[in-house]
Amino acid sequence: MTNRLRVLRAERRWSQAELAERLGVSRQTVNAVETERYEPSLSLAFKMARLFDQGIEEIFSDQGPS
């Protein structure tokens, strides 16, 4: 599964630590999701979607990098 978390974070010029704080998770979790080593739970994915005001499928994709 791929995701656009890093790009979305870039648009807001947040550090991983800032994003982690907004999501209520650790910086390591944000880093692991961004590097696609860890797939977040559905509830965390919804939190991300709400935070970035996007649909989950706009952030996460199971198609692989285009």
The CB-of-16 to other proteins minimum distance in angstroms stands at 5
Please give the full DSSP string across 39-53, using - where no structure is assigned: PPPHHHHHHHHHHHT
Q: Which two tokens stand for residue 22?
A: 């907004």
Which DSSP category does 10 fall into?
Answer: H
Among 6, 21, 22, 51, binds other proteins (CB under 8 A): 6
26-65: which residues touch other proteins (CB under 8 A)? 26-29, 31-32, 37-38, 40-41, 44
Q: Are 3 and 36 in contact (CB under 8 A)?
A: yes
In the complex, what is the shortest distance from the CB of residue 48 to other proteins, in angstroms, rounded to a whole number? Answer: 13
Can residue 3 be called a binding residue for other proteins (CB under 8 A)?
Answer: no
